[in-house]
Amino acid sequence: GRWRGWRSLAAELPEPHAALAGRALAVVTWRRTHRWCGACRTELADVPGETARRCPACGLTGFLPLSVAVLVAITRPGRAGGPDELLLVRHAYGPTELWALVAGFVEAGESLEAAAHREVAEEVGLAIGRPTYVDSQPWAMSGPGTLLAGFTATVTDPAAEPVVDPRELTEARWFPVDALPAELPPAYSISRWLIDAVAGPH
C-alpha cells in the first residue's frame, strides 16, 4: 500500500469509493482536532455507532460539524442573439490558474439562497435572480465536513459588469458558453458539473 492525497483519489476512484475516502479523511481530521470537552476540559470518548464524541464527565455531546458552502454559476443572455455568457472568476488563493465559480461558506442563520445572493454581491458586485439548485458534493479539501451546494442563477441586469473583491478574486470575466477557457475545474468537481450544466460538456 501507499499514502495518497484525497485530491488524486477523488480524480481517479469511482463512486462510492471516492465519497468513502472523503468521509474517512473528514472523520479522522475531526477526531484529531476534537479531543477535549469544550465545557469542562475532560477528554472526549467516541459514541459507539455514531459520528459523535461525548464527555464522560458532563455529558456534552459533539457531532461532526458540517460546513456548507454555495457555488453559483451566473449567466446572462448573449448579446445580439449570440450564445449565453457565463461569469468565471480567478481566486486570489488556492488553484489561482483556474477559471472557477463564485463560492463561499454559508453563515449561521442564513439560507443557502441568501448565502448565494450575498456571496455574488460581495465577490463580484452583481445582483442575481432566484438561484436554482442543481447538485451537491461532499468536499474533503476545505477542512473536515465541507458540503458544497451548487446553484445556477441569472443576473438581474444583463448590462452590469463584475467588480471584483480583490481580497478574494484577481479577475472576473463573462465568457460565451461556446468559448470557455481551457483552465476549468477538474471533471470530478461540482464546479465543473455546474459549468457543464449551463454550457454543455466540452
CB 197 within 8 A of CB 73: yes
Least distance between Zn ion and beta carbon 30 (Å): 17
Least distance between Zn ion and beta carbon 49 (Å): 21
SS3 (DSSP) at 61:
strand
Task: Summarize as ranges the residues that interact with Zn ion (CB under 5 A).
Answer: 37, 39-40, 42, 55, 57-58, 60
Separation of alpha carbons 179 and 84, rounded Å = 10
Nearest residue to 89 (alpha-carbon basis) of 31, 142, 168: 168
Cβ proximity to Zn ion, 58 vs 127, nearer residue: 58
Which residues partner with 137 through β-bridges? 148
The total of other beta-carbon atoms located within 10 Å of residue 95's CB is 11
Cβ proximity to Zn ion, 61 vs 170, nearer residue: 61
Least distance between Zn ion and beta carbon 51 (Å): 19
In the chain, at which residue ranges do the beta strands (DSSP E only) sit? 45-46, 52-54, 61-63, 67-76, 85-91, 102-105, 132-139, 146-154, 169-176
Cβ proximity to Zn ion, 20 vs 58, nearer residue: 58
DSSP, res 21? H
Q: Provide the residue type at 158 as one letter.
A: P
Least distance between Zn ion and beta carbon 35 (Å): 12
Least distance between Zn ion and beta carbon 53 (Å): 11
CB 124 within 8 A of CB 111: no
Cβ proximity to Zn ion, 24 vs 39, nearer residue: 39
Q: Which grid cell is 34? A: 476534537
Cβ proximity to Zn ion, 55 vs 106, nearer residue: 55
